[in-house]
Structure 1
Amino acid sequence: MHRSAPRLARILACATVPVMLVAGCSSGSEDKKDAEGSSRPSSPSASPSVAAAKFSKLPDVCSALSGKTIEKLVPKAKTKKGKALPSSDTNTSATCLWSGLDGFKYRSLSLSLKLFPSDAGLGTGDKRAQEYATQQASKASSADGVKNPKTEQAAVGDAATTVRTEEKKDGDDFRNQTVVARTANVVITIEYDGAGYETEKTPDATKLMEDAKSAAKEVVDSVAKGTKGAGGGQESPASGGSKSADPSKDSKDSKDSKDSKDSKDSKGGA
Structure 2
Amino acid sequence: MPRRAIRYATRGTLASYATTTALALALAGTLTACTGSSGADDGGDGKPGSASASPSAAAPGKYDTLPEPCGTVAVSQLREMLPGAAAAEDGDTPAPSDSASPFEGEASVTYDTDRRVGCSWKSATTLSTRHLSVDFERVVSYKPTVSDDEQAERLFAKKARKAGIAVGPASAQSAGETPDGHASPTDKKGGSDGAGGEDGSDEPGDAPEDSSSPTPDEDLTPRALDDIGDAAYIDDTLHTADSGLHRDITLVFRTANVIATVEYDQWVTDKHRIPDSKELQDKARELAEQLEGQFEED
Considering the TM-score relative to the shorter chain, is it more than 0.5? yes
The separation in 1 between residues aligned to 2:144 and 2:108, in whole angstroms, is 30
- The answer to whether residue 108 in structure 2 is matched with residue 110 in structure 1 is no
Deviation, 1:55, is: 2.1
> Aligned residue for 1:32?
30
1:76 corresponds, among 75, 84, 98, to 84
The separation in 2 between residues aligned to 1:59 and 1:66, in whole angstroms, is 13
> Aligned residue for 2:259?
187
Q: Structure 1 29/98 Cα, relative in aligned 2: closer, same or farther at 3 Å?
A: same
Equivalent residues in 2 for 1:208-219, closer than 5 Å: 208-219=280-291
Q: Which amino acid aligns with 2:156?
A: A
Q: Which amino acid aligns with 1:172?
A: G
> Aligned residue for 2:204?
none
Deviation, 1:13, is: 4.5
Query: What is the SS of the residue equivalent to 1:76?
Result: helix
The separation in 2 between residues aligned to 1:215 and 1:20, in whole angstroms, is 94
The separation in 2 between residues aligned to 1:62 and 1:138, in whole angstroms, is 29
Q: Structure 1 14/210 Cα, relative in aligned 2: closer, same or farther at 3 Å?
A: farther
2:228 corresponds, among 128, 142, 156, to 156
> Aligned residue for 2:108?
85
The separation in 1 between residues aligned to 2:36 and 2:238, in whole angstroms, is 69
CA contact (8 A) 2:245 2:271 kept: no
The runs of 5 or more residues in structure 2 that have no matched partner are 43-50, 89-101, 166-186, 191-220
Q: Structure 1 20/161 Cα, relative in aligned 2: closer, same or farther at 3 Å?
A: farther
> Aligned residue for 2:74?
66
Deviation, 1:221, is: 2.2
Q: Structure 1 171/52 Cα, relative in aligned 2: closer, same or farther at 3 Å?
A: closer
TM-score (norm 1): 0.64
Instruction: Render the CA deviation track for 1:63-101: whole Å, top value 9, x for unaligned.
Output: 111112222222213712222123344343211112223
Query: What is the SS of the residue equivalent to 1:87?
Result: coil
The separation in 1 between residues aligned to 2:103 and 2:241, in whole angstroms, is 25
Query: What is the SS of the residue equivalent to 1:194?
Result: strand
Q: Greater share of helix residues, 1 or 2? A: 1
Q: Structure 1 22/129 Cα, relative in aligned 2: closer, same or farther at 3 Å?
A: same
Deviation, 1:111, is: 0.5
> Aligned residue for 1:42?
41
Give the CA RMSD over aligned residues: 3.7
TM-score (norm 2): 0.59
Deviation, 1:42, is: 2.2
Q: Structure 1 116/194 Cα, relative in aligned 2: closer, same or farther at 3 Å?
A: same
Query: What is the SS of the residue equivalent to 2:246?
Result: strand
The separation in 1 between residues aligned to 2:11 and 2:66, in whole angstroms, is 89
Q: Which amino acid aligns with 1:87?
A: T
1:101 corresponds, among 104, 110, 124, to 124
Equivalent residues in 2 for 1:110-259, closer than 5 Å: 110-117=133-140, 121=144, 123-140=146-163, 150-198=222-270, 201-225=273-297
Instruction: Render the CA deviation track for 1:241-266: whole Å, top value 9, x for unaligned.
Output: xxxxxxxxxxxxxxxxxxxxxxxxxx
The separation in 2 between residues aligned to 1:51 and 1:97, in whole angstroms, is 33
The separation in 2 between residues aligned to 1:153 and 1:132, in whole angstroms, is 17
Q: Structure 1 167/29 Cα, relative in aligned 2: closer, same or farther at 3 Å?
A: farther
Instruction: Render the CA deviation track for 1:125-153: whole Å, top value 9, x for unaligned.
Output: 323333333344455559xx958894524
Instruction: State the aligned residue count.
Output: 222
Q: Which amino acid aligns with 2:41?
A: S
The runs of 5 or more residues in structure 1 that have no matched partner are 227-270
